[in-house]
Structure 1
Amino acid sequence: MTSAELLDLLLETTLAGSAAILVVLASRRYLRRMFGPGLAHAAWLLVPAAVLAVLLPAPEAAPLPVATLHAIPAATAAVTVFRPAVSAADGAAAVWGLGVLLATMRLAMQQRGFLRGLGTLQRRLDGSWQASACAGLPAVVGLLRPRIVVPADFDSRYTSTQRALMQLHERTHIRRGDLHVNAVVALLRCLFWFNPLVHAAARRFRHDQELACDAAVVARYPHRRRAYGEAMLHTQLAAQPLPLGCHWGFSHPLRERIEMLKLTPKSGPRIAAGIVVITALAVATGAAAWAAQPGRAALQDSGSIAAKDGNAVDGHVVGLSVRIDDSRPMASSGRFTPGREQVFDYDHEGQRWEVALTITPADAGTYTVATRILRDGQLQAAPNLVVREGEDAGITVGERTDDRLVKGLELGLVVRRADAQAVDDTRIQNPPAYPAAAAAGGVGGSVVLLVDVDAAGKPTLVQVERSEPAGVFDAASIEAAYKWRFDPEIRNGEAVPSRLRVPVRFDPPVADGTPADGPAPG
């Protein structure tokens, strides 16, 4: 996974998780009042449901109907939807990784500080462990071998009834798997350290966890509410938190916990209704996150320039203009090998469109063009064209209204020989120089450039969006790009500055000096 893909995934999971957190924060008190603390605590399942839903494959769209073939002028414009540059993505990923490390160290220090603060532990006859300290106890610690730890004055401070209730509380945590759940919460806090909502939600989750555990104990011994409440008041608050455990201290809402003791346990039908509500919320939240996720298909390395160890050779050139869903058209051009399929990739609003062309010379001045148009890997159309050299042709796949594309893909293309070069073919006249060390070592790769052009089509800024392998072909690609000229974007009849994404592929040369796989489209 590249840095850019990692950041995209973090962004998607952060948005989905934050939305689910807001839903739970807004509804937890209502759910507690209507269905009890246990189901209010279960509502936090909405958060992992939303996050996990984002990791599922995106929904497949139904194929679009195929419209008629028609001739259209070859439009020229620039790509306007981009991902961050590689350097920025790598830097952001490094900052995130450092934050994860620091957050993990912080929680580990809190855990160690709490455990060291317990002092010497001694095994009791009832199976629990007695600490030499008192703060924040009783508590249950240990993921693999959970242990109930009671304070040094456990026998003198609490009555036998209170002691039994408090130990039952801690055993309930163990039985419910709360320690492992808290470990997952701690992991999420480390991974999403940059999101303040996650930290706020973690505190409220622990509050709801204690309330749910209290409710379970009181439901079992309803006639001992008073003793249970007095035990809470006698508990001394801890000086620091316990990330991977459960204990009675550290800002737990004692007022809410005592007020909860006054509530009457919910009836079976009410609890059943709550389960249905929570399940429906979890399913709806997960489905919404899954349906809203953008496609994460990576930009393929079949690109617009074939860089060779030497000068460009004569051949054939195809120029493309692609418009998707009434967006501004995207222009690209490049060489092609007769009879060999070349693929052009376009990302648009989370969908990946592929235009695969197989162009074969026919009679003098004519070409047959076999096309395959795919959306997210699904074939949408496969028409065949016969075009004359230098003349425009086009294909529309989708829906049109009043001679305007509403939904789908509109393709314009023109085929000519490479020796009939125009200003916008400078990418073919000036291919990147293949680095000598990479050529000698048989190293190939690709670079995706982001090129800012002025109204005359001259590059003003060239940046590397991503490269493979990193840094090997960057300088050669940037140097060549400043020699290129592009068709500027036309807006309201006037040329305006714009930005383009230009993929560049480097095929390692073989003995005869030609790329191993032949030239790539441009």
Structure 2
Amino acid sequence: MIDWLWQSSLLISAVILPLLLGHAWLLRRLGAQTTYSLWALVPLSLALVALAEAGAVTTSGWTQLQVVTTVQQEVAGWRPAQLPALSLMIWALGVTAAWALLLRHRTKSRASWSIGRHLRVVRWRDCLSPAISGLLRPTLYLPLDFSARFSSDQRRLVLAHELAHWQRGDLHSNFGAFLLLSVFWFHPLVWLGYRRYRMDQELACDAHVLGKTSTAAQASYGRALLLAAGPTQSPWSLIDPLTNHYGAYKKMKERLQNLTQSKSYTRLPIVALSIVVFAAAMLWQSPTVASETGNENELATPIVRINPQYPAAAAKQGLEGKVALRFSITAAGETDAIEVINAEPEGVFDSAAVRALEKWRYHPRFAGDGHEVLLAFTLE
């Protein structure tokens, strides 16, 4: 788990950092709606990691299996092997704290969690600006002076903005984004990316509402944004995945500047991303095996598999590693001609891996050369 978090953190850093650094350029060239859609790169990149880790890997037409061997023996004193367990505990506490803070905020804000199919409108004295909330049923919160503060045109545009959040599925997307935020709570770039994603969502919703309106409507909408803004904004108003707020004054400058940009939404970046994801999935899909019997789509999995013995010296030193082996399967289903083709670290786990593989047994229909297996040695 710790290895997955580390590898995934590096990957999403490579995705989030360009989106943050190139945000101004992307906004000018692509527009608010297309720029917002590019944040789909983050979950898509994690899906690629899952595809890379899952299943078997095709190697020269034969099946390469991965077997993980773990050791749970007690080692006296403080050892490096204990660090992964401690790290996992700290990570779990962070995830729990993130969701506990969210639930506490949701309880204090009295947002709706009720189930239903229709919009509920609530006039709330503590509501400074319009906001829509909910996951299964939308609840629209309006300030008590909503009718007096906004003109009829402004009310129409403001309500259209809030309803667009629900119709576009923004609240549901935010829930998934917060799920990723809670998993990677330790990553500063994830927090910065989530904040930028939520602000881009507002810009995209503005562009959606004003896509077919006149210049006069844009001016009216701009005045409505200023009327709806407040001098301060709680950090949780941006983190809360099930509520969308208009924002504080300092957030309005960017929104007002983008009201005059009329770039339409283009699906080209999303189509390009879909092609990349599909190509990656094809590369990492489960392999097929053409055995002597002509039975395709069947993995050469062992009937008898003996896990290697973890070397005691390696366990005491907290060493982990992996050994890649190439072998043949005889007509009797036994393994033969075993050779080590790669080992990390060299010479530590080789003998244990070879001794274990000698005891494996396969169905005779998989008889042949060129089979490979990867044995991973990890500590719990």
TM-score of the pair, normalised by structure 2: 0.67
Residue 153 (structure 2) pairs with residue 161 (structure 1): yes
Letter of the 1:29 counterpart: A
Secondary structure (helix, strand or coil) at the match of 2:16 reads helix
Counterpart among 258, 261, 273 of residue 263 in structure 1: 261
1:36 and 1:265 in contact (8 A); partners too = yes
Secondary structure (helix, strand or coil) at the match of 1:375 reads strand
CA distance in 2, matches of 1:233, 1:300: 69
CA distance in 2, matches of 1:156, 1:284: 51
Residue 64 (structure 2) pairs with residue 46 (structure 1): no
Deviations 1:57-80 (A, max 9, x none): 447243299xxxxxxxxxxxxxxx
- Number of aligned positions between the proteins: 298
List gaps (5 residues or longer) in structure 2: 63-78, 113-118, 285-304, 313-337, 361-366
Identify the residue that residue 133 of structure 1 maps to in structure 2: 126
Secondary structure (helix, strand or coil) at the match of 2:135 reads coil
1:332 is displaced (CA, Å) by 5.0
Instruction: Give 1 or 2: higher helix fraction.
Output: 2
1:344 is displaced (CA, Å) by 4.4
Q: Percent identity?
A: 30
Secondary structure (helix, strand or coil) at the match of 2:247 reads coil
Counterpart among 370, 375, 382 of residue 372 in structure 2: 375
Secondary structure (helix, strand or coil) at the match of 1:144 reads coil
Identify the residue that residue 185 of structure 2 maps to in structure 1: 193
CA distance in 1, matches of 2:51, 2:23: 27
1:356 and 1:373 in contact (8 A); partners too = no
Spell out the pairing of 1:419-430 with structure 2 (5 A cutoff): none
Identify the residue that residue 152 of structure 1 maps to in structure 2: 144
1:56 and 1:290 in contact (8 A); partners too = no
Identify the residue that residue 308 of structure 2 maps to in structure 1: 302
Residue 220 (structure 2) pairs with residue 231 (structure 1): no
Q: Which has the larger radius of gyration?
A: 1
In structure 2, the CA distance between the partners of 1:304 and 1:198, relative to structure 1 (3 Å rule), is closer
Spell out the pairing of 1:21-60 with structure 2 (5 A cutoff): 21-58=16-53, 60=57
Residue 14 (structure 2) pairs with residue 19 (structure 1): yes
Identify the residue that residue 177 of structure 1 maps to in structure 2: 169
CA distance in 2, matches of 1:159, 1:93: 54
List gaps (5 residues or longer) in structure 1: 1-5, 66-83, 119-125, 293-298, 307-319, 335-341, 346-354, 359-369, 378-447, 450-464, 467-522
CA distance in 1, matches of 2:341, 2:10: 29
CA distance in 2, matches of 1:300, 1:255: 65
Residue 201 (structure 2) pairs with residue 206 (structure 1): no
CA distance in 1, matches of 2:344, 2:245: 59
TM-score of the pair, normalised by structure 1: 0.50
Instruction: Give 1 or 2: higher strand fraction.
Output: 1
Letter of the 1:226 counterpart: A
1:229 and 1:258 in contact (8 A); partners too = yes
Secondary structure (helix, strand or coil) at the match of 2:229 reads coil
Secondary structure (helix, strand or coil) at the match of 2:59 reads coil
In structure 2, the CA distance between the partners of 1:201 and 1:252, relative to structure 1 (3 Å rule), is farther
In structure 2, the CA distance between the partners of 1:327 and 1:12, relative to structure 1 (3 Å rule), is closer
Residue 16 (structure 2) pairs with residue 10 (structure 1): no
Identify the structure with bigger relative contact order (alpha carbons < 8 Å, sequence gap 6+): 2
